[in-house]
C-alpha cells in the first residue's frame, strides 16, 4: 500500500540537489524518509509547519518554512494532513 509513497520519495531523491526528504503526519509520525532527514526530525518538522500555519488566519494558506544554513536549505510545507520536508543544497 505504501509502494506509491516509497516510489515517490525515491523519485524525489533522484534530483541531484536534494539530499534528504521526510514525510510525516500531523502528529509528527514518520511516514517515509530518505537521505539526511530521518525519524528523529519528524516531530520538529511537523511542529514547525503547524506553528507557521498559525501565523495566518487563512486556513487554505499553507506557508513554507525555510531553514537556511551553510549546508543547504530545509524547506517544510504542509499539504492536507501530511507535512513534507526537503533538504536541498544550494545550487
List residues near other proteins by CB under 8 A.
1-2, 4-5, 7-9, 12, 21, 23, 31-32, 64, 66-71, 73, 75, 77-82, 84, 86, 88, 90
Q: Which is nearer to other proteins, 4 or 57 (CB)?
A: 4
Q: Which is nearer to other proteins, 50 or 77 (CB)?
A: 77
Q: Which is nearer to other proteins, 57 or 80 (CB)?
A: 80
Contact 74, 87 (CB under 8 A): yes
24-43 b/e (C-beta count within 10 Å ≥ 16 → b): beeebebbbbbebbeeebbe
- d(CA 89, CA 91) in angstroms, rounded, equals 6
Amino acid at each position: 500500500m505504501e509502494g506509491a509513497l516509497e516510489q515517490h520519495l525515491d523519485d524525489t531523491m533522484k534530483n541531484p540537489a536534494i539530499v534528504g526528504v521526510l514525510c510525516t503526519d500531523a502528529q509528527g509520525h514518520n511516514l517515509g524518509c530518505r537521505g539526511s532527514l530521518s525519524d528523529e526530525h519528524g516531530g520538529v518538522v511537523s511542529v514547525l509547519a503547524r506553528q507557521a500555519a498559525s501565523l495566518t488566519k487563512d486556513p487554505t494558506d499553507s506557508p513554507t518554512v525555510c531553514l537556511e544554513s551553510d549546508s543547504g536549505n530545509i524547506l517544510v510545507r504542509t499539504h492536507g494532513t501530511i507535512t513534507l520536508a526537503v533538504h536541498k543544497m544550494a545550487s
